[in-house]
Each structure stands twice: as structure tokens, then as C-alpha cells.
Structure 1
Amino acid sequence: MRLFSPSVILPTALPWSVTAAPAEQTKGNRSIIERDGVTYHVFEHAATGAKMEFVKNSGICETTPGVNQYSGYLSVGIDMNMWFWFFESRNNASNAPLAAWFNGGPGCSSMIGLFQENGPCHFVNGESTPSPNNNSFNNVANVLYVDQPIGVGFSYGVDNATSTKTAAPYVWKLLQAFYDQFPEYESRDFAIFTESYGGHYGPEFANYIQQQNKAIKGGTVSGQEINLVALGINNGWFDSGIQEKAYIDYAYNNTYKKLINETQRNSLLDFYANDCLPEVEKCTRNGSNQECEDASETCGSGIEQRIIDSADFDVYDVREPSNDPYPPATYSSYLKQPDVVKDIGAKSTYQECPDAAYSKFQGTGDIQSGIGVLLWAGDADWICNYIGVQKVAETVDFPGVTEFGNTELQPYTVNGEKKGEFKAVDNFSYLRVYGAGHEVPYYQPEVALQVFEQTIRQKAISST
């Protein structure tokens, strides 16, 4: 994750030996390469011209006996290498659904989600090595973590993605190659889970998948239909017109600590109405890059920065001082250890949230609105706070929007213990999670796993 002013709109070659493996000519060519003591499985995908190269069962992170993992790259274009790490489900992998996780930023690595939030291992109390995570999302699903756009995390090479729309085709190409490499997953239910700037990623990726499915059915695109059934967005950034004001509302009236006084609040609300909102509306109406950049700068400096300067707090968890961010980032050093990098098949230096990818996204009118099955938020997060997320949820255009807006929040419980409040109509749900910062699965892992399982099973969330 990064402390961002959210866009209002949101090696030297080595010798190797090659051993031929059985090839499925209709899908692509397969081979096994030994390089520098590491065995790589290679799949040249016929349909997209992409090449997948990965390590099987590195022994890093997932240590549950009999649970397979695969980590490596898909070349989605010339010198465009997208990193993925896939974990089979710990339970009933042959039938469990498939989920993909994307961190936000924009331009932050999904290794954040893997190691800090919901992956098979985590770093307890900042320890230097990981231990098993009993609340991993792969308890109930096969989970694919993807570093995108190119240049983020372990992905490397040429980055042509400048917006969520231009990033979506590369994600679709990765999924197409993944399905042909692992055909057992082709017909599985598929879900996208994401957070933060994923409020843009998730809806746009989902929309692109649906468009491609329609084109495949119509015979204008060749590929595998993706059985998309669920979309979950944790502390998402969706709509500046709503969420810029929520910065002020949350800063003045949250359950942890007041960040601004009444005089500051009134001044900020005046600035929002007379300066920020008109710029946002101009950006939304016309959509030019310059107008959207102007809106981002106006709102960022006039609202966000003024609140940040007003108090000592961590924007991702207001309970923590700004000089002591939480959760700890031990995993980042771990992923730079040479033996770990070698074992997982990585070919670049890990970069958590490089500036280059973020700058490309910030400089465009990336304004996709968000729709989803589940919008949820930890209530100690300021940067994408629950007040704004709830207001966004109540404006999502779906058949039950009026009923949803009129529905009162109810307690959300896990095994009888109250963990938040929620409301749901049909398959659309909103959840405020108590005692959680920006990365909800880190702070409330039991809640996150329950919510994940309910959503991926195509259910509205409910108390247990």
C-alpha cells in the first residue's frame, strides 16, 4: 500500500538444459528447464503467444503437506513479465473455487496481501521468517496473487499500462494462459478480491472479463470464458465526489479520535463545496487527463493534506501514530533475500510500491465507477474510510438499490461475537469491520475468512 493522494478518478543469460515434456498442441508447448540449479516449468501459450515460466513447490510460504504452489512469470508482451504466485486450496482443491487477489496503490505489489493479510503464511509480531497462517484464504479456495502493472513487486520489463482500462487486457491474458496451463480450473467459479485502489481495479477487471466472455460467445474473440461469480473490495477508493467529503466527516467524527476541530471542519467543508467538488464534477463530465489531474491536486492539497497535517496519525490506522505504522513490513526484507528470490523463481528485485507505475495511473483520467458483490471496510482506516465506502455502496446502481439504501445496519457476528455491522440485499453486501485498519484481513483474520468464503460461494454475507 502507499500513502497516496488518491486519483480523483479514479539478468545475464545463463546456460541451461531443456527436457521435453508432453505437449498439448492445441494449448501450447511445454518443457522443463534447469537453470542455476532451479527447475522451471515452461508453457508457451498458443492462443495468446505468451510464455509462462514457473517454479513448482518452492517450499516458501505454503508448507501444508500435499498442497501445491506455483510461482513465476507470464510474458504478456515483448519484455513484459507479470509475476504470479498460485496456491492450491488446503481443502478439496480439486473442487474449490478460484480467486485472484490484487493489491491497490495504484502500483502496489500483491505480495502485501499474500504476506501481510490473507496468504498461507505471515510474519507474527514482526519475526524475520514466516509461519503458517491458519486463516489463509486458501483454506477455502485456490488463490492466485498477481503483481500488476509491470514494474510492481517482482514483475519487470516494459510497462504499457497507464490506467485500469489499459491494465485489464494483460490480466485477462494471464488468466487465459493460466487456464490452459492448468485446465482443471477452467470451469471453476472465479472471484476477484482486491483493496484500496482496487475500487477501480476490481470493477474494471470484472467488466473486461464480462466483455470478453460475451465476445467469445459471439465468436469474435478466441479464448476460455471465465466464470466470474464474485467481486470483493476491501477499503476501496471509488468515487471522489463522495469520498473526499468522507475524509472530512471521518476526521471530525470517528469512534477512535478526533483529527480536526469544528472550525477546521467547517473550513474544509466550505473548500469541498466551492473548490474540490466542482473540479471533480468537471473531471467526471469531460474526462480529460488535465482536468482530472487538476481535480486530484485541488482536493489532495486542499482537503487530504490539510487533515494529514492537523494531527499525528497513520492514515491507514488512525489508532497508530504516523511514525509507527502498523502492520510491520518484515516480509519486504524477506523477499529480498537471495535464497528466497532464487527458490521462488523471481528474476528481479522486489519493489513494493514503485513510483513509476503510480505516476502513470495518476496522470490519467482513470474514473471507472465501482460495482460489486461485497464492499467492506475496517473502521480505523482513514485513507479509504468506512463512511465513504458505505455512501458509495448506497449509490451502486443495481435492482435493489432503493431497498439497500433503506435497510438498517445489523450486527455482524463470527461464532456469536460481534465484529462489525452490515446490510445486504440480494447478493450485494456492505460491511463495516470493527477494530481494523486498511488491511482488514491482518487485523481481523477470522472475520475476513468468513466474509471471503461467504462471498465466493455467491452468498450475501450473514452472521454466524
Structure 2
Amino acid sequence: MRGTTAFFLLSLAFLLGTLLATAADVSQEAQLIKFMSSRALKRLRSRPTAANEAEEESDPWADPDTFAHLPERCKGLPSGGSKLADRILGLPGQPPRVNFRQYSGYVTVNEEHGRELFYYFVESPYGAASKPLILWLNGGPGCSSLGYGAMEELGPFRVNPDGTLRRNKYSWNNLANVIFLESPAGVGFSFSRNTTDYDTVGDRRTAEDAYVFLVKWLERFPEYKGRDFYIAGESYGGHYVPQLATVIMSMNRFPGPALLPRINLQGIFFGNPLLDDYLNGKGYLEFLWSHGVISDEAWARILANCTFTPSDDWPCFVAAHAFQKGNIDRYNIYAPVCLTPSKNGTFYPSSDSMPGYDPCSYHYVEPYLNNHAVKSALHARVDTKWTGCSDDLAWNDAPEFMVPTIKRLIKNGLKVWIYSGDFDSVCSLTATRFSVNDLNLAITSKWRPWYTPDSEVGGYVQQYQGGFTFASVRAAGHLVPTFQPKRSLVLLYSFLKNMLPPADIPDSWRSDFGF
């Protein structure tokens, strides 16, 4: 019987075992799994009532009056710095002939609490004055856009094992000017002087703080006011990105007395997102079964015991955990993994089967960002111990279903693209397809392959009513710009040009990309 002491203790032990097994893992994968396990535990302890379920299915971000207090928060709030002071003269270990400007520093988003968000901004080396502005948000919740997004995925540099930097040929700043925001406070170098903020954080405050950050950042960089602006992200960014877009669109229409600068939001572009807790669980398990990780017998037991709705109970939980995955990277089930340190203390990849990809890269990024000289160059607080993901945040609000929010953004005319690396099991292509189907949009351009400038199939794409676009990225894991940097850049190019990636590559594309 659900709710008995024996049941609760058993479920708690099982879940805590999962958490403890990943306690030393600071990756985004571990952070997302811990978050989802915590939510599963809450559901096991208290089955949702019909009223709760109806509330969960509604869109809690639909009322624009929810954000009526934001003009007051933005009015007269000092940003805490200046553009000149934030200019990076050079990062330790960076290669010669860096031909773009870099900035980093803090923006105060709540003066009373002393809440400050840290950003790293790179301009494009080619025509920065005419290129759009992109804000990149990593997920978690609670993981760093600087350490992951900038240093391991789409930023201009990658960190070498010896602590030097090398250029990323496929950096997104080839096509746009890019801000990497460490959000919320408590992540990376971002902080609050009132530590109770770490116990009261959630989706809503994260979105509101990010909006205040943008307003103040644009005061610091006024040349970007009115520039075409896009929000991009991944993973738990499936919450962050559409929620921030909702705040911006609401505030752009806000008729209040304190007129705020209109943020020229053109679209959102996010990958391998967490959109629906239940469908994500179904997609995760179906993906593993379809890729040979789960046996037919185990899959049959899952289907016999799980409905993938709030009504699922302990038998489903047991069936869904009764198989062995082995030592694979759940973010890319075909990628090599980083093995435990050898006798001399160095980490090493299990194989070199993916040229250009190093699964141990985080172990170079963390010491690099904790180097005193690097912190000084970044204008970060030198007494901060930087980590990739924060364990200090108690997440208080997060809708379990993001489809209503995304559907409303599409209805209101925003360009929305979702992409999915097809080797990721955690936020799988399978799961995302379930959520895309729940949008109930008519197909306007049927599923077909798209190509890279070297005539490889980069993935598959389909477009829907209202311009909504869903694309897969072939042979990519959860961190698409890490596993397939060229393909991610081609897809971004298509998004910014507002056209589907082509079924064949025109010669003009080859010249644009330098291939």
C-alpha cells in the first residue's frame, strides 16, 4: 500500500542510493538526474490529487501581470560595474592573435540582497557591429554557462590539459555576439550576499533575475540596444529559455509608468531540453531499450507497470530501475568516458574513438577557472571556489510541463526552434518528440535530412504551423556543440537566417563557413 512506512523507507533508500552514487560527479548530467530524482521522491511521498494534476497542466507563466513588479526592480538599480572595467585584456594561456573583444564581470540584479550575476561576453571577430546578440544559458538547474557553455561547448576557446587555451574553430561567435550568463546566484562566480537566497531560488526568480540582468547589461553596453536578440540553451534550459522569453515578451508590452528598454527578442533556440517530467522518463527508457541497453523482457515489465502519468506508483519505479546500464555516458551513449585518475593523478579518456572530443575536459576547466590569474583576468572574486554545478541551491518552483509555455510563445509569433542530439539518453530525441507532438501543431514541412557544407547529413528537420521548427543533430549527444561543433554551427546559421537547413548545401554557404 502506497504511503506505508516500509514503502517510504524503501523508496527513500533507493533514491538516496542514486544520489550518493553521483555525489562526487559535478557534471550537468548528475545535476539534472539529482533534480529529477528529488522530484520523483516528492511524487512518491504524495500522490497528486485531481486538483493538483489540473494545476500542473496549466501554464503558470500565462498572466503578464505576474511581472508587474519588475519595472520597479529595474528602475535606478546600479549595475555594479562599467564596460571599460569589464574589458578582458587577455586570458592566461590564450593563443596569439585573438581578434575579438572579450568582457566579463558582475551585474547587480538585487541591491537589497546583494545578488550579483557573473557574465562572460565575446564579440564576433567579423562585423560585430552588425551581428545579433545571443544569450546562452546552461541547465542543471544550477550549472555554469561559463564552464560548460563557453569552455566546453560553443565558446571561442577550449582548455588544454596543460591549462592553456586553444581556439574553437566552430565557436558561435563566428555568427553572433554571445553572452554566457552564470545563473542563478550561487552558480559559478555568481553570488548573493544574503545566503538565504540559495534556499529560496526557483524558475521564476531565475527568469526575473535574468531579465533584470539584461536590462542593466544593455545600459552598460548601449550599442546593443535594439539589436536582434536571441536566447539559446540546453538541458534544463528547456525551462530557462522559454521562461525568460515569456518575461521579455510580457515586459515589452508592459504599459507601466517606468518604461523599460524594449529587448528586441527575435527567437529562442534550445537543445535536448527537459520539457515534461513524465514524457522525459518514458523517452529515456524507450531510448535505452531501442538502443540495446534495456532487454526486451525488462522493457515489457516497464510497459506492464508504467503509464508515465502522475498515477504511476512503486511497481513502475522498481521496473524502471531493474536493469544495468554499465559505465556509459548517458549524455552520449556511444562516447568514450573519462576514467578514474591514474597513479600520477591524471584523468584519461577510455578511448580516442571520437577525434576532437575529450571526455575529461571538465578536469582541465575547473583548475583553470580556479587559477588566481584567471580569476583576476575575468574580474571574478578571487576568494570564490568555482565549480561547474552548485549543490547549495534548494529549488522551490518548477513546472513539470513546459509545453503550454512554449505553445503560447509560438502563438504570440516568436520564432522557436528545438534541436536534439540523437545519442543523448537523458533528454532524448525520443522524449522531445513526445513533447513536440503534444504541441498539436500542423506540419508545414515534412521530416527530411539536412546537410552540412561538406555534404554530410547533419540530421533531420521538420517545420510546423507558426514556424516552429524541430531538428535532430546526427551523432550528437546532450551537449550538441561539444560532440558535433560543425553541425551545431550550421544549424545556428539556419536559425539566424530564418530558413530551414538545406536538403543540399548552396555554394554561398560554403563560402560563409570557409569550407
Is 1:315 paired with 2:353? no
Aligned to 1:174: 213
Aligned to 1:136: 171
Rounded Cα–Cα distance in structure 2 between residues aligned with 1:461 and 1:300: 40
8 Å CA contact 2:234–2:273 kept in 1: the answer is yes
Is 1:349 paired with 2:390? no
Cα deviation, residue 417, structure 1: 1.2
Cα deviation, residue 75, structure 1: 1.4
Change (3 A) 1:455 1:304: farther
Does the residue aligned with 2:477 lie in a helix, a strand or coil? coil
- 2:103 aligns with one of 64, 70, 79: 70
Cα deviation, residue 453, structure 1: 2.1
Is 1:51 paired with 2:68? no
Aligned to 1:260: 294
Rounded Cα–Cα distance in structure 2 between residues aligned with 1:91 and 1:321: 35
Is 1:411 paired with 2:454? no
Change (3 A) 1:212 1:140: same
Aligned to 1:90: 125
Q: TM-score if structure 2 supplies the norm length?
A: 0.71
Q: Which amino acid aligns with 2:452?
A: V
Q: Which amino acid aligns with 1:236?
A: P
Question: CA offsets per residue over residues 387-407 of structure 1, 9 Å max, x none?
Answer: 11122223225xxx1225xx5
- 2:143 aligns with one of 93, 102, 108: 108
Alignment of 1:361-440 (within 5 A): 361=396, 365=399, 367-369=401-403, 371=406, 373-396=416-439, 401-403=441-443, 408-415=446-453, 416-425=455-464, 427-440=467-480
Question: CA offsets per residue over residues 208-266 of structure 1, 9 Å max, x none?
Answer: 11011110xx2344311111111111111101232211112101103xxx111011101
Structure having the higher helix fraction is 2
8 Å CA contact 2:158–2:165 kept in 1: the answer is yes
8 Å CA contact 1:433–1:440 kept in 2: the answer is yes
Rounded Cα–Cα distance in structure 1 between residues aligned with 2:288 and 2:29: 19
Change (3 A) 1:302 1:374: farther
Cα deviation, residue 450, structure 1: 1.3
Cα deviation, residue 62, structure 1: 8.3
Cα deviation, residue 57, structure 1: 2.2
Does the residue aligned with 1:319 lie in a helix, a strand or coil? coil
Change (3 A) 1:313 1:70: same
- Higher deviation after alignment, 174-183 or 423-432: 423-432
Rounded Cα–Cα distance in structure 1 between residues aligned with 2:152 and 2:86: 22
Q: Which amino acid aligns with 2:300?
A: N
Change (3 A) 1:166 1:131: same
Q: Which amino acid aligns with 1:360?
A: W
Is 1:189 paired with 2:223? no
Is 1:2 paired with 2:38? no
Rounded Cα–Cα distance in structure 1 between residues aligned with 2:319 and 2:478: 20
Aligned to 2:13: none
Q: Which amino acid aligns with 2:473?
A: V
Rounded Cα–Cα distance in structure 2 between residues aligned with 1:221 and 1:269: 55
Unaligned runs of 5+ residues in structure 1 are 11-44, 281-294
Rounded Cα–Cα distance in structure 1 between residues aligned with 2:80 and 2:320: 43
Rounded Cα–Cα distance in structure 2 between residues aligned with 1:63 and 1:72: 23
Cα deviation, residue 166, structure 1: 1.8
8 Å CA contact 2:276–2:400 kept in 1: the answer is no
Alignment of 1:189-228 (within 5 A): 189-215=228-254, 218-228=255-265
Aligned to 2:304: 270
Question: CA offsets per residue over residues 387-439 of structure 1, 9 Å max, x none?
Answer: 11122223225xxx1225xx542112101211211212363221211211111
Is 1:150 paired with 2:150? no
Structure having the higher strand fraction is 1
Does the residue aligned with 1:187 lie in a helix, a strand or coil? coil
Cα deviation, residue 2, structure 1: 3.2
State the superposition RMSD in angstroms: 2.7
Does the residue aligned with 2:282 lie in a helix, a strand or coil? helix
Aligned residues with identical type, % of pairs:
26
Rounded Cα–Cα distance in structure 1 between residues aligned with 2:229 and 2:129: 14
Question: CA offsets per residue over residues 322-351 of structure 1, 9 Å max, x none?
Answer: 664825212122111111111111102212
8 Å CA contact 1:198–1:233 kept in 2: the answer is yes
Cα deviation, residue 100, structure 1: 0.2
Q: TM-score if structure 1 supplies the norm length?
A: 0.79
Rounded Cα–Cα distance in structure 2 between residues aligned with 1:209 and 1:300: 40
Rounded Cα–Cα distance in structure 1 between residues aligned with 2:155 and 2:241: 19
- Higher deviation after alignment, 69-78 or 52-61: 52-61
Is 1:443 paired with 2:483? yes
8 Å CA contact 2:115–2:185 kept in 1: the answer is yes
Rounded Cα–Cα distance in structure 1 between residues aligned with 2:117 and 2:321: 34
Is 1:80 paired with 2:119? no
8 Å CA contact 2:443–2:463 kept in 1: the answer is no
Q: How many residues align?
A: 398
- 1:118 aligns with one of 143, 154, 158: 154
Q: Which amino acid aligns with 2:227?
A: R
Question: CA offsets per residue over residues 39-81 of structure 1, 9 Å max, x none?
Answer: xxxxxx8633442355312312586545211101011112211
Cα deviation, residue 443, structure 1: 1.1
Does the residue aligned with 2:420 lie in a helix, a strand or coil? strand
- 2:288 aligns with one of 251, 271, 283: 251
Aligned to 1:26: none
